[in-house]
Amino acid sequence: MKTMRWLLKHAGKVVVMDNEITDLDLAVLESAIAKGSEKRGDLVFIKNTRKKYSGIQVLYEEGDEMLQKMLSDIEGDRGFTVPCNTKKQADRVMMKLQEEAKETGIDPSRFKLYTSEHGEVPKDINAEWSGNFVVYSPTITTGIDFQPAQPQNVYVFIEGEDTTSPASVLQMITRNRRIKEVYVSSIKMKNKPEFTSFEQMCQRLDTLSASKAKLAPCALSQVATLQELQDRAFNEETDEDDYSDTEFSRLYKQALWHDNIMRSSFQYQLDGMLMSRGFEVSRQSISQLTDRDVEKAHRLIGNAEADRRCTQQAV
């Protein structure tokens, strides 16, 4: 962080590009260059309004239904990509695909799996992935620009909200730059924030920071990052370090709070991000359906129709 601040202050010009830029990102940049900069210029924010994926459908479906669609693509010799938000899910999907596709005579080398323990991202991604069946975990979120010869389906498997964020899932989906349709299976979502208030979250972090107990990996990472951004002073009475907030540590706490809110409404946030890129999202109905011809209680309907039914129910 210190190195980044120094570079921001002394660079002639800084251009920052990201998938999602929030007010917090701008606040971090503003804080870094506000004092001590050799040439303090204006902070200019430019929003790219181009919707690259306009008109492409996003459909929520059950995992088994998606598997059948993938098998149909395999039989039709149509490649696809499968982002999964956990390594376990990626392994499971790949195993199921290979088992079901044994009788098709497909060359096993066309099944590509990338996780923290399997597969290395090739230098020529287009040559390696084109026409093949690619499954990957959050090992791949950025740095890949796949341009298949023909538009392909993308099948997304999300299990729980504790691993990747909605923004990261969006990045995983759009590693494929030529998308035909997107299918999403989303299960085990709590749809409930871990903390009910910013103050409660801060109190929890401060308590963990002062604790000597062994922390879970996620909490350990958050506390370690927080302490790195805080001021530290040695306490002669306790023979321990005391930590106090700085401008950067307060911004980090705000970022964690935003992440808490995003994950508590994961599908809603992901849908919004997808639509901001031009995707047309059809989500599962959240109202009770009474039509006799409806075979499933959770059939897919468009956003406008879902909103209309919700409004009618509220009335």
CATH class of 57-191: alpha beta
Burial of 232 (0-12, 13-18, 19+ CB in 10 A): exposed
pLDDT digits (tens, 9 = 90+) for 109-141: 999 999 989 888 888 999 999 999 999 999 887
Inter-helix orientation angle 217-229/198-210, to 10°: 90
What is the reported pLDDT for 189?
79
What is the reported pLDDT for 257?
86
What is the reported pLDDT for 173?
95
What is the reported pLDDT for 284?
61
Burial of 28 (0-12, 13-18, 19+ CB in 10 A): buried
pTM of the model: 0.76
Domain borders along the chain are 1-48, 57-191, 198-261
What is the reported pLDDT for 301?
42
Residues of the chain with pLDDT under 50: 286-303, 306, 309-310, 313-315
What is the reported pLDDT for 1?
67
Write a three-state SS string for 52-72.
CCCCCEEEECCHHHHHHHHHH
Distance from the first to the final alpha carbon of the chain: 52
What is the reported pLDDT for 246?
84
Q: Which of 208, 88, 81 is nearest to 133 (CA)?
A: 81
Average pLDDT, the chain: 81
